[in-house]
Amino acid sequence: MDSDLKTEAIKRAKVLMVGAGGIGCELLKTLALSGFQDIHIIDMDTIEVSNLNRQFLFRQSHVGQSKAKVARDAVLRFMPQICITPYHANVKDPEFNVDFFKQFNVILNGLDNLDARRHVNRLCLAAEVPLVESGTTGFLGQVTVHIKGRTECYECQPKPTPKTYPVCTITSTPSKFVHCIVWAKDLLFAKLFGDRNQENDLFVHTGDGSDSVKPTDDIFERGLDEVSVQYGRKIYDHVFGYNIEVALANEETWKNRRRPRPIFLGDVLPEKLILQNGNLEKNCLTEDLSLSAMPSLGLNNSQEIWSLAENSRLFLEALRLFIERRGKDIGSLTFDKDDQLAIEFVTAAANIRASSFGIPLHSLFDAKGIAGNIVHAVATTNAIIAGLIVIEAIKVLEADFQNCRMTYCLEHPCQKMLLMPVEPFEANKSCYVCSETPLLLEVNTQTSTLRDFVDKIVKNKLGMSFPLIMQGATLIFEGGDDLEEDVAANYALNLDKVLTALPAPVTSGSMLTIEDLQQELSCHINIKHREEFDEEKEPDRMVLLGWTTPEKKSQGVSNGENTTAAIPAAPEAINKSEEVEVAAEISRTRRKRSEISETTGDQETFQILPDTDAKNSMDPQEVEDDDYENDLVVLDENPEASKKRRLQ
């Protein structure tokens, strides 16, 4: 297509951007400067201080405002002639349905979670609108093109399941610092500052070593005449001292494990220092006006690893500030890694617990990364990826599909290339989203309930928001906000019934039809009864089969190099806010460029699982990681080691 026709195609195009964060800011700027005239943006987030180091359309004065609206205003200041329509909303809202998507020529994704990315993928398939996906993690990034009938869809590659930990590991036998972080933020923080009515297995023990029953008086309840210092000491001694003593009483647990050390506040800090902890006359605000316990304690370097005594003082001071400065919020707080005081409290609590169990302590900087699943973003990677998105979008608008490419951005040159172009892969014939291949579910139909099936399979595995479940011609469940109360109540009665006790019994050999009308998605699941499951490898007691990764037959694109040269498989960096959820592994196997395959990653979320042998068990409780650092990711291993392995 000549330049005049290309310019005309760009000017006529109506483009939808989903996400206005790190990649989104660069993308909006690049679209505007490339001549696009009609751009729509959806983003439900507001601007946070932590966004400012890489989301360059935003300034300090914009903190708390809508990302979509501020991004629009910023670009219109230097490109006032174009039309930008912002939506401060969730892309999963009913107004953004298939008909809404049909009005656009191409969709450009930069989302903040896997669930929303799946949702957009399905709407694009239903509306038959091309989708350009993208993601970055540090120096790595990728841009992929998904066109119905021509390429694979976003979900053709199964995503890894969230990392899970049994509750007994978190509460009784932690061996990694991440276990201490999960305990501190998901159990202790929630118990002290969250909903008191919510069940929380923090193992509340009495001081006499008896763990058979919980005390009549909740140790976490603060007395009316109890000052914050007394309360803090009581909590400290209870969770780090008495509870550890109780755990040590079970000799069987520690036969092959390192025994923990009970820690009591009086053994760490002298009485005088406990009473003088903090300094009310000093400023308790950081430079960005966030409430913080660090200034009053003289802790200025968040990348320094503090001692047990310093972490103990930070624990007490953070607790005091929550009580005295944010008392009205206690009872409704949830952990947010961008809440300075919350991350200080969680870091201190995790480090004290780590010290007890002989686990190396971490800095607040590192603890924040683990708690929010983050490693730091590189702004230039975002800019490169944004440019590649626009290049692919222009190809789509020109209907130049044969030249569309999936492009991977590498940290180090491979075959003298930092940008690795690969032809899009064909659709996976076993994909339940873009094909009609039925899935197989192995489940104990006599013990598993419909609620288990809806939560673990339909919503978690299949990513459906408002599912409709049918067994033959019988509708056994329907979800949605628009249901009549009596209808919703009737369906709710089915949720706690085992599958064989439903109005239309689900047994081995049954086929369930699952639909999501908002996504215009339907799939079939064949049921196979199974009695036994491996509690460690199959904690859900349900195994979904039939969704497999196809053999890649795509041809790599030469950049002047020998196309038969062996190179490592390219990574897919899936973004958690607009950028990354988890860095995908590049295969160890060296392959020909014609055999390049991507490994798909999902954001590493942590899930606490009930332990069937534990005296106190809890329902599966997923650690919320939906709104932390936009372009960051936590890796399972040392990034340098991972990098060396990938580049072998």
pLDDT by residue (tens digit) across 374-431?
656 789 999 999 999 999 999 999 999 999 999 999 988 888 889 999 999 999 888 8
Average pLDDT of the residues in 37-64 = 90
328 and 404 both lie in a single domain: no
What type of residue sits at position 159?
Answer: K
Residue 25 annotated in ligand binding = no
Looking at residue 464, what is its pLDDT?
A: 87
Looking at residue 430, what is its pLDDT?
A: 84
| Residue 406: alpha-carbon gap to chain centroid | 24
- pLDDT for 214 beyond 60: no
Say how many CA atoms lie within 13 Å of 368 toward its Cβ.
Answer: 22
462 and 404 both lie in a single domain: no
Least confident of 262-266, 313-317, 392-396, 538-542: 538-542
Q: Count up the domains in the chain and report the number.
A: 3
Looking at residue 132, what is its pLDDT?
A: 96
Decide if 137 is inside a domain. Answer: yes
The per-residue pLDDT for range 301-337, each reduced to its tens digit, is 999 999 999 999 999 999 999 998 898 888 889 898 8
21 and 91 both lie in a single domain: yes
Looking at residue 277, what is its pLDDT?
A: 65
387 and 525 both lie in a single domain: no
Decide if 566 is inside a domain. Answer: no
Residue 497 annotated in ligand binding = no
Element (H, E) at 323: helix 308-325
Query: What one-character DSSP code corresponds to residue 593?
Result: G
- For residue 21, give both structure tokens: 């964060």
Average pLDDT of the residues in 360-368 = 93
Residue 117 annotated in ligand binding = yes
Decide if 189 is inside a domain. Answer: yes
**Rg, Å, the chain Cα set:** 26
Beta-carbon contacts of residue 317 (< 8 Å; ≥ 6 apart): 277, 278, 293, 296, 297
Specify whether the CB–CB gap between 190 and 464 falls below 8 A.
no
Residue 52 annotated in ligand binding = yes
- pLDDT for 597 beyond 50: no
Looking at residue 564, what is its pLDDT?
A: 28
354 and 417 both lie in a single domain: no
- For residue 515, give both structure tokens: 């639909």
Mean of pLDDT over the chain: 79
463 and 418 both lie in a single domain: no
Looking at residue 35, what is its pLDDT?
A: 94
Residue among 25, 124, 168, 409 flagged as catalytic: 168
Looking at residue 227, what is its pLDDT?
A: 85
Decide if 563 is inside a domain. Answer: no
Say how many CA atoms lie within 13 Å of 348 toward its Cβ.
Answer: 26
39-62 in b/e form (b: 16+ CB < 10 A) is: bbbbbbbbbbbbbeebbbbbeeeb
59 and 134 both lie in a single domain: yes
pLDDT classification of 539: cutoffs 50, 70, 90: confident
pLDDT classification of 279: cutoffs 50, 70, 90: low
Residue 113 annotated in ligand binding = yes
306 and 210 both lie in a single domain: yes
Domain end call among 512, 545, 578: 545
Residue bearing the bigger pLDDT, 628 or 349: 349
Decide if 407 is inside a domain. Answer: yes
197 and 314 both lie in a single domain: yes
397 and 541 both lie in a single domain: no
Residue 523 a catalytic site member: no
Other CB atoms within 10 Å distance of the CB of residue 199: 8
Domain that holds residue 249: 175-358
- As a whole number of angstroms, the distance between CA 311 and CA 313 comes to 5
Q: Which residues make beta-bridge pairs with 108?
A: 17, 132
- For residue 245, give both structure tokens: 């003593």
Residue 434 annotated in ligand binding = yes
203 and 348 both lie in a single domain: yes
Specify whether the CB–CB gap between 379 and 56 falls below 8 A.
yes
- Helices and strands in the chain, H and E counts: 20, 21
- As a whole number of angstroms, the distance between CA 64 and CA 631 comes to 19
261 and 409 both lie in a single domain: no
- pLDDT for 343 beyond 90: yes
Q: CATH code at 77?
A: 3.40.50.720
- For residue 370, give both structure tokens: 């683990």
Residue 23 annotated in ligand binding = yes
Decide if 150 is inside a domain. Answer: yes
Decide if 519 is inside a domain. Answer: yes
